């Protein structure tokens, strides 16, 4: 049955799924949860993820129906509000309601909080963001849908190096994810003879989170000192924000030293549509050749079909994370499909490793590495480039950390 479902996955995507009622109303219904950031700092991503998950559940149920399976999957989406504490609470409620497999969260800080709770509540958590190195290393209820955070940091470090950047100032959220990101990237800069000029961090949940006057003033001082010492070509700013990075760009002084250096970001800002929608943010990003990574797109019919299916719903470009979410729901369904008691957390936990080891999804393989992270997968670098009076996200490089 596992093999049968896997084989029809791409064929059904390309052929179109029936997005209607389940043909067998007497089938057992198993609910899979999803912690999706429909509001807050990742709402743009959340919209794409929701569309992807709804596409996946239709196709999965069509597959189960065609295979005359005795069960069907239902999807319960909870809004995490892009807030780790809210994700924690929503996970607790879903677990109390008997949901044993959950897709998400979609940010690293939420995973830090949610992983130990999932372990205590016997819930299989399919983490849809890079996991910090010390996040429940031995937690066999944590499925890792992305490579380690080090893969993304390696991508940014290599791009800095190729652009001759040796000196970096950071600005972004204060949290476990950003601090780990800074520490890892700082080590690589220092190994290459570079320096960290300072870090300007803010509380992402403060009431005035969209007022970056103080942060930009402090950042300007750090960049001025670095440019005076090393020259603008060897200095850059690394931005570690979510969607509020658009407001930071809007408030950055285009006539200051901040526009004289290159800007780079993390995957949370990669290909963000709101950045192009704001004239001031778009102009500043284009002037500074703002570049950010995203998990690598796969040149396959399956990937493009899912991408197009989501684009048809949301009407814009689709971040690769949304396609990974599609695969995550399939992994949830295949894990459930392997067990006889589909509500037994022990059986589900035991089933997950074999599913991860044998699943070839539309975004690639999910075989884990020695640390339990997804082994396969590089990153694409996206840059905001001017196009006459407009600007666009342009894919400038495909990077595989394991081969560079």
Does 144 share its domain with 210? no
Residue 146 has pLDDT above 50, yes or no: yes
Q: Give the three-class secondary structure for 167.
A: strand
Of residues 216, 207, 214, 285, the one with CA closest to residue 246: 285
The structure tokens 């990974």 sit at 324
Q: Above pLDDT 90, what percent of the chain? A: 82
Distance between CA atoms of residues 330 and 337, nearest Å: 10
The structure tokens 């609470």 sit at 89
Does 125 share its domain with 240? no
- Tell me if 398 sits within 8 A of 380, measured CB to CB: yes
pTM exceeding 0.75 = yes
Residue 251 has pLDDT above 50, yes or no: yes
Distance between CA atoms of residues 202 and 214, nearest Å: 10
pLDDT band at 7 (very low <50, low <70, confident <90, very high): very low
Does 246 share its domain with 387? yes
Look at residue 134 in the predicted model and tell me its pLDDT.
72
Mention every residue, 6+ apart, whose C-beta is less than 8 A from residue 335.
101, 124, 348, 351, 352, 355
Bond before 290 cis per omega within 30 degrees: no
Distance between CA atoms of residues 165 and 191, nearest Å: 13
Does 39 share its domain with 185? no
Over residues 369-397, the pLDDT tens digits come to: 988 899 999 999 999 999 877 899 999 98
- Tell me if 241 sits within 8 A of 265, measured CB to CB: yes
Residue 69 has pLDDT above 60, yes or no: yes
Look at residue 404 in the predicted model and tell me its pLDDT.
56
Over residues 213-234, the pLDDT tens digits come to: 999 999 999 999 999 999 999 9
Look at residue 89 in the predicted model and tell me its pLDDT.
98
> Which segments within 296-389 are labelled E, that is strand?
360-361, 364-365, 379-387
Does 43 share its domain with 164? no
- Could you tell me if residue 274 is inside a domain? yes
Residue 122, both tokens: 């016997």
Please count the other Cβ atoms lying within 10 Å of the Cβ belonging to residue 71.
15
Q: CA gyration radius for the chain?
A: 21
Q: Give the three-class secondary structure for 177.
A: helix
The structure tokens 């950042």 sit at 219
Over residues 182-200, the pLDDT tens digits come to: 999 999 999 999 999 999 9
Look at residue 161 in the predicted model and tell me its pLDDT.
95
Does 126 share its domain with 161? no
Residue 308 has pLDDT above 60, yes or no: yes
Q: What b/e readout covers 330-362, taking b as 16+ CB neighbours within 10 angstroms?
A: bbbbbbbbbbeebeebebbbebbeebbeebebb
- Could you tell me if residue 322 is inside a domain? yes
- Could you tell me if residue 372 is inside a domain? no
| Average pLDDT over all residues of the chain | 90
Does 125 share its domain with 245? no
- Could you tell me if residue 101 is inside a domain? yes
Look at residue 136 in the predicted model and tell me its pLDDT.
52
Q: Above pLDDT 70, what percent of the chain? A: 92
Concatenated DSSP letters of 251-275: HS-TTSGGGGSEEEE-GGGTT-HHH
* Least confident piece of the model among 25-29, 59-63, 91-95, 157-161: 25-29
Distance between CA atoms of residues 220 and 259, nearest Å: 10
Q: Please indicate whether residue 95 or residue 210 has the higher confidence score (pLDDT).
A: 95
Look at residue 206 in the predicted model and tell me its pLDDT.
87
Strand pairing report for 390-399 and 379-387:
antiparallel
Residue 98, both tokens: 């008997």
Does 140 share its domain with 276? no
Q: Which domain holds residue 265?
A: 150-295+379-403
Does 284 share its domain with 326? no
Distance between CA atoms of residues 140 and 178, nearest Å: 25
Q: How many domains does the chain have?
A: 2
Half-sphere exposure (Cβ direction) of 69: Cα atoms closer than 13 Å: 27
Distance between CA atoms of residues 295 and 277, nearest Å: 23
pLDDT band at 12 (very low <50, low <70, confident <90, very high): very low
Over residues 29-63, the pLDDT tens digits come to: 999 999 999 999 999 999 999 999 999 999 999 99
pLDDT band at 402 (very low <50, low <70, confident <90, very high): low
Mean local confidence (pLDDT), 227-249: 97
Report which secondary-structure segment, H or E, holds 75. Answer: strand 71-79
Does 85 share its domain with 174? no
CATH at residue 242: 3.40.50.2300
Does 287 share its domain with 241? yes
């Amino acid at each position: 049955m596992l093999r049968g479902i896997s084989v029809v996955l791409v064929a059904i995507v390309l052929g179109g799924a029936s997005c209607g009622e389940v043909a067998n109303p007497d089938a057992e219904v198993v609910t899979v949860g999803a912690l999706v950031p429909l509001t807050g700092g990742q709402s743009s991503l959340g919209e794409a993820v929701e569309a992807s998950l709804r596409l996946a559940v239709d196709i999965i149920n069509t597959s189960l129906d065609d295979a005359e399976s005795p069960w069907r999957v239902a999807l319960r989406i909870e809004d995490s509000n892009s807030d780790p504490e809210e994700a924690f609470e929503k996970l607790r409620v879903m677990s109390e309601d008997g949901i044993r497999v959950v897709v998400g969260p979609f940010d690293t800080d939420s995973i830090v909080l949610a992983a130990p709770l999932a372990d205590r509540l016997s819930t299989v958590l399919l983490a849809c963001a890079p996991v910090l190195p010390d996040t429940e290393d031995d937690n066999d209820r944590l499925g890792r849908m992305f490579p380690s955070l080090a893969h993304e940091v390696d991508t940014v470090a290599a791009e800095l190096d190729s652009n001759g950047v040796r000196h970096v100032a950071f600005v972004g959220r204060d949290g476990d994810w950003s601090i780990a990101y800074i520490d890892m990237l700082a080590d690589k800069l220092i190994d290459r003879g570079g320096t960290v000029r300072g870090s300007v961090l803010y509380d992402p949940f403060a009431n005035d989170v969209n007022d970056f006057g103080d942060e930009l003033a402090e950042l300007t001082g750090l960049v001025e000192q670095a440019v005076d010492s090393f020259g603008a070509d060897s200095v850059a700013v690394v931005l570690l924000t979510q969607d509020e990075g658009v407001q930071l760009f809007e408030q950055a002084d285009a006539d200051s030293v901040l526009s004289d250096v290159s800007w780079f970001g993390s995957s949370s800002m990669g290909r963000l549509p709101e950045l192009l929608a704001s004239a001031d943010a778009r102009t500043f990003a284009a002037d500074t050749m703002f570049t950010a990574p995203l998990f690598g797109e796969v040149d396959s019919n399956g990937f493009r079909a899912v991408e197009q299916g989501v684009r048809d719903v949301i009407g814009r470009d689709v971040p690769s994370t949304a396609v990974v979410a599609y695969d995550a729901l399939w992994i949830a369904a295949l894990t459930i499909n392997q067990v006889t008691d589909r509500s037994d957390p022990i059986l589900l936990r035991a089933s997950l490793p074999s599913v991860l080891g044998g699943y070839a999804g539309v975004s690639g393989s999910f075989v884990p590495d020695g640390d339990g992270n997804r082994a396969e997968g590089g990153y694409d670098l996206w840059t905001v480039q001017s196009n006459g009076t407009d600007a666009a996200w342009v894919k400038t490089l495909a990077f595989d950390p394991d081969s560079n």
